[in-house]
Amino acid sequence: MTLLDIRALRVSYAVPSGTVHAVDGVDFALAAGECVGVVGESGSGKTQLFLAALGLLDATASASGSVRLGDTELLGAPRSLLETVRGRRIAFVFQDPMTALTPQLTIGQQLSEVLRVHRALGEDAARARSLQLLERVHIGDAVQRLRQYPHELSGGLRQRVTVALALACEPQVLVADEPTTALDVTVQAGVLELLREVKRERRLAIVLITHDFGVAAQLCDRIAVMYAGRIVESAATEELYARPRHPYTRALLRAVPRLDTPVDEPLVNIRGAPPAPGETPTACAFAPRCARADARCVSERPELMGTEQRVACHHPFTEPLATALARRS
């Protein structure tokens, strides 16, 4: 059953030189209990996509298309409606836990605020529930922590608090925007483990926005790769890793250093740079950097095709990545 259904979503910004499309026609569906990774480099539009879905875009942005949560259309919905969706049905976890908590309010005050706003809980009930939530995200000394201010907590603990905040009202969808990027590797592992647990126990649908294939692979059932505001490939995680079909995905995966890569071997990089925002190519956006590009790639934009493994490419790869690598060496 599709829970969150995004169709033909476009986010554009008017700039002096014209219009910039941060998100350029994206279809995205999320089923209940599913975990989807949205992978892309900076500026590929992965965060904008979900900010738009909740009406959190800057006032200068305009969004078109459709975002449905269940039976509710969210795009262009009045703020009063959006306020009942935000935090209650769709919750966000932001990238940097150091700045995502209000410094002047204690952890307890911030947790109960959300509970009181959405659940209309009284003070005592909110406190009891806050304690539960902190224990749920494995924060020890919960009673003490409720009284502390954000600056008294470490980064990892703060990120656990933001997860607790997001879970407070038992949302249907959790959007985690680079939840581990700002954290140490060891702390990262803890937060990922927490998300995995939450996903398992609550049948919560999770969208994990990341630029890190490793993080996405640990958690996600399915991965969508974004490039220049469009989804270029979408497939089940194992399938995507074993048989990346889009040249961009393949190049990205090859760029990830592996433990068995010889130390002296230079890391693979992708030549060229992503298109500057504002250039809205009628061609495949990746064509200038693609070894397989031909005349068709620069004249006709490929659409996302296929059913299980969807790819937007005129000349997709078919053989598994391992075979290709083996043949080369």
Q: Check residue 146 for interaction with another protein (CB under 8 A).
A: no
Give the nearest distance from C-beta 100 to another protein in angstroms: 4
Is residue 207 a contact point for another protein (CB under 8 A)? no
Closer residue to another protein (CB): 166 or 240 = 166
Mapping DSSP onto H, E and C, the string for the chain reads CEEEEEEEEEEEEEECCEEEEEEEEEEEEEECCCEEEEECCCCCCHHHHHHHHCCCCCCCEEEEEEEEECCEECCCCCHHHHHHHECCCEEEECCCCCCCCCCCCCHHHHHHHHHHHHHCCCHHHHHHHHHHHHHHCCCCCHHHHHCCCHHHCCHHHHHHHHHHHHHCCCCCEEEEECCCCCCCHHHHHHHHHHHHHHHHHHCCEEEEEECCHHHHHHHCCEEEEEECCEEEEEEEHHHHHHCCCCHHHHHHHHHCCCCCCCCCCCCCCCCCCCCCCCCCCCCCCCHHHCCCCCHHHHHCCCCCECCCCEECCCCCCCCCHHHHHHHHC
Among 64, 106, 181, 280, binds another protein (CB under 8 A): 106
In the list 3, 91, 205, 216, the residue contacting another protein (rule: CB under 8 A) is: 91
174 is a site residue for another protein (CB under 8 A): no
Q: Which stretch binds another protein (CB under 8 A): 8-16, 60-68, 161-169, 231-239?
A: 161-169
Determine if 199 is a binding residue for another protein (CB under 8 A): no
Residues 173 and 229: their CA atoms lie apart, in Å, by 22
- Contacting range for another protein; rule: CB under 8 A; set: 102-110, 136-144, 241-249, 285-293: 102-110
Q: Which range, of 5-13, 89-97, 196-204, 281-289, touches another protein by CB under 8 A? A: 89-97
Positions 46 through 85 that interact with another protein (CB under 8 A): 54, 56, 59, 79, 82-85
The reply to whether 113 sits near another protein by the rule CB under 8 A is yes
Residue closer to another protein (CB basis): 102 or 154: 102
Q: Cα–Cα distance between 275 and 119 in angstroms, integer?
A: 45
The nearer residue to another protein, 3 or 176, going by C-beta atoms, is 176
CB 205 within 8 A of CB 31: yes
Q: Does 181 bind another protein (CB under 8 A)?
A: no
CA torsion sign for 70, 72, 73, 79 is negative
Q: Of residues 3, 107, 114, 191, which one binds another protein by CB under 8 A?
A: 114
Of the pair 195, 251, the CB lying nearest another protein is at: 195
Kindly tell me which of 99 and 299 has the beta carbon lying closer to another protein: 99
For residues 161 and 187, which CB has a smaller minimum distance to another protein in the complex?
161
- Asked if residue 245 binds another protein (CB under 8 A), the reply is no
> Which of residues 10, 118, 199, 222 is near another protein by CB under 8 A?
118
Task: Give me the residues that bind another protein (CB under 8 A), please.
Answer: 54, 56, 59, 79, 82-88, 91-92, 94, 96, 99-106, 109, 113-114, 117-118, 147, 149-152, 162, 165-166
